[in-house]
Amino acid sequence: MDFHYVSHANRVIFGQGKIKETKEELAKLGKKAIVLATPEQKDLANEVAEIIEELCGFVYTKAVQHVPVETVINAQAIVEKEKIDVLLAVGGGSSIGLAKALALNTSLPILAIPTTYAGSEMTPVWGLTENNLKKTGTNMIVKPKTVIYDSNLTLTLPKGLTVTSGMNAIAHCAEGLYAENANPIVSLFAEDGVRALASSLPRILEKPEDMEARGEAQYGTMLGGMVLGSVGMALHHKLCHTLGGTFNLPHAETHTVILPYAIQYNASHIPKAMEALARALNTTPDDVPGALYDLSSSLGSHTSLEALGIKEIELDKAAEIATKNPYYNPRPVNKEGIRELLQYAFEGKRPELAYVK
Ligand code: NAD
């Protein structure tokens, strides 16, 4: 065995009803908090403000997707004026993303209470959009010091977002298994993350009040975030980034469609990862892409790029952009191979058996 592993310490409070412990946890980080949320989650932000009582300095509910620089400037002025010393983000990647951008500028600690399965709360990755361009980077200062997972907060998550952000978390785990800097510890998180999400998402859809399944999905999400924050991603994430950025395809839905085909493309070069995925999905290594496809289609999500609105004629350009700059992938990436992958994903047929060495 030969590997590098870097642990990123943080504190995780996990369990149904744990939002009640927010004040106690917050007091370990600061004396005056700004609660950050999107306008849609204003009620939840106010609920959290009540829980933390005198530790609440301001409730800011103007967080939006992709962290526009204008929102950061606006929120930062409040942070400075109110002498805020801790950032409390409640919500999904958008609220947590705003907290991260503020932490990058101010070095203030973050307490995050996630309500989706995006996993941003467990990563040191930040993003910022200026003049329609999204910049991203990694800095340990933005990684939340404390994360509170409360399964009650996912009860209001719409079905569509439950499925696609859950599949997105599976993608973080899957690519972590064959990352350039993959290591046995992160692979343990990744395999168990896929297992937990693949097992819990169908149960949540079948019985929305199944709190055990909701807890398990959050546990898988947490592992997915740990994987995403620890090792590099490859072809799947690169392709989704290209399709989202250039063709404006929806982020989580694109992940859901592409994942089975990206795994199929890499299968012959990642035998150990295929075995881990097979264990997690309760199938055989050569049927992993098919099992991922079955999972997303059984959850009612789109399974083809065509359904997401891209035109077949645009696939050539997508393949070109996705192979323009070199990046790590276990199977060498070339334009013809990626064009073929995109064609499969466009048509959305169940991937055939993958050849595994
Ligand atoms: P989001 O935070 O944008 O939320 C989508 C919508 O759902 C919002 O209106 C939000 O208020 C609402 N919502 C969230 N939780 C809800 C709940 N429980 N009940 C009802 N409504 C709820 O969505 P997201 O998928 O969590 O985040 C996406 C963003 O996060 C993207 O910008 C993505 O790039 C970023 N992201 C960053 C990282 C990272 O490591 N930095 C990781 C994953 C995603």
Q: pLDDT tens string for the chain (357 positions)?
A: 899 998 888 999 999 999 999 999 999 999 999 999 999 999 999 999 999 999 999 999 999 988 999 999 999 999 999 999 999 999 999 999 999 999 999 999 999 999 999 999 999 999 998 887 788 899 999 999 999 999 999 999 999 999 999 999 999 999 999 999 999 999 999 999 999 999 999 999 999 999 999 999 999 999 999 999 999 999 999 999 889 888 888 888 999 999 999 999 999 999 999 999 999 999 999 999 999 999 999 999 999 999 999 999 999 999 999 998 889 999 999 999 999 999 999 999 999 877 665
- Ligand 1 contact via 153 beta carbon (within 6 Å): yes
- In short, whether 94's Cβ falls inside 6 Å of ligand 1 is yes
Residue with CA closest to ligand 1 atom 20: 157
pTM over 0.75: yes
Distance 118 CA to ligand 1 centre (A): 6
Residue with tokens 């469609």: 257
Q: Could you tell me if 260 and 353 are in contact, meaning their C-beta atoms sit under 8 angstroms apart? A: no
Ligand 1 pocket member 193 (CB < 6 A) = no
Residue with tokens 């898988």: 220
Q: Which long-range contacts (CB under 8 A, 24 or more apart) does 80-83 make?
A: 82/32, 82/34, 82/57, 82/58, 83/32, 83/57
Q: What is the CATH number of domain 11-154?
A: 3.40.50.1970
Q: What is the pLDDT, as a whole number, of residue 357?
A: 54
Q: Is the CB of 125 under 6 A from ligand 1?
A: yes
Beta strands in 93-193 (DSSP E): 110-114, 125-130, 133-138, 146-149
Of 161, 168, 241, best ligand 1 pocket probe by most atoms within 8 Å of the beta carbon? 161
Q: Which two tokens mark 100? A: 């991260």
**Predicted pLDDT at 132:** 76
Residue with the nearest Cα to atom 2 of ligand 1?
92
Out of 1.20.1090.10, 3.40.50.10190, 3.30.470.20, 3.40.50.1460, the CATH code matching 159-355 is 1.20.1090.10
Smallest CA-to-CA distance from 82 within 102, 104, 112, 111 is with 102
Specify the domain boundaries for CATH 1.20.1090.10 within the chain.
159-355
Could you give the residue range(s) of every CATH 3.40.50.1970 domain in the chain? 11-154
The residue behind tokens 């992958």 is 341
